[in-house]
Amino acid sequence: MEDFEGKLAVITGGGSGMGRELALLLAEAGCHVALCDLAQEALDETRRLCAEANMSVAVSTHICDVSDEDSVEAFRDAALAAHETDHVNLVFANAGISGGGSFVLDERTDWDRTFGVCWFGVYYTARAFMPLLIAAEEGHLINTSSVNGFWAAIGKGVPHTAYSAAKFAVKGFSEALVSDLRLHAPHVKVSVVMPGHIGTNIALHSGMVIGRENLAEPGAVDVVKIRGMLERRGLPVGNLPDHQIREVIRQQGAYFFDNAPMTAAEAAAVILAGVREGRWRILVGEDAHELDRRVRAAPEEAYEPEFLEGLQAAGHFNGLRPPPNE
């Protein structure tokens, strides 16, 4: 799909990060956009920026919790009504959060919430929109996995089970669709996107939803759960007052964002280039390419301390280290 003009793209997680940047680039290219996220204010800002980029495209915004199938189906129906169409051309299953690091120690609700957004969000989106992609003359499903879809780690001594399990599932599902679509809907393509460390607010947003039962409803930070999570990671936060716990989360999110080697806008450009080229496998960032090479070369060593140390010595994934004052 080399030309996006006049087509309709659906983007989950369109209120910030790569989702927002994808929307802006698509709008500039003349593509109409249907966006969903949990925060209306963030969606409104994305819509405003899209209008600045290209006033001629239609942009609709929708509140949706992608971990809930009914919510995804309601988003689908509302998007079709807003754009007065019976098909879509591009679907970016992009929404994601992190959390539920330890299968052994963390609470199941946190684990299930992360897995629900990062895996079931992709699955429900594909289920809801695949018939609409098939109904188009040409369609493309783009599922966001991660380098954690082939390397289930995030840093030394930090378990990353829920997010990694979900991203492995997204990768496997997307690869399986390559043959399925070639056989049964050859005019529809699929891509799996595997970004490395990208400058987004996923770390901050994930910290803000720990302990939340319903992601679609606003709520205060659950300081008790965050304190426990940080203590399990070896951080001496037991005696910190609540406002300093909130500040630790903010600092970690800012550190992750500020030390990323690639911006969300740069990542979005790589993703759309891959879509235009019809690639089913899109690695995003030099760190993603280097990690992929090293895991393939020595899979049995991928979870040894020296593996990450070697990556960081080569200048990759240093933004995963805790802030210096931590």
Using N-to-C axis directions, what is the helix angle for 161-184 and 121-135, rounded to 10°?
20
Query: What pLDDT is stored for residue 157 in this prediction?
Result: 77
Q: Rounded to two decimals, what is the model's pTM?
A: 0.87
Output the CA torsion sign for 69, 153, 205, 238: positive
User: Which run of H or of E encompasses 36?
Assistant: strand 32-37
CA 296 to chain centre: 23
Q: How far apart are CA 33 and CA 14, in angstroms?
A: 10
Active site residues: 163
Query: What pLDDT is stored for residue 231 in this prediction?
Result: 67
Q: How far apart are CA 305 and CA 325, in angstroms?
A: 22
Query: What pLDDT is stored for residue 200 in this prediction?
Result: 72
> Which residue ranges form the domains of the chain, and what is each CATH number?
8-200+262-304 (3.40.50.720)
Taking 70 as the pLDDT cut, the residues of the chain under it are 201-222, 224, 227-238, 244-245, 247-258, 319-326
Query: What pLDDT is stored for residue 73 in this prediction?
Result: 98
Query: What pLDDT is stored for residue 17 in this prediction?
Result: 95
Give the percent of the chain with pLDDT over 90: 73
Whether residue 75 contacts residue 36, with contact meaning beta carbons closer than 8 Å, is answered with yes
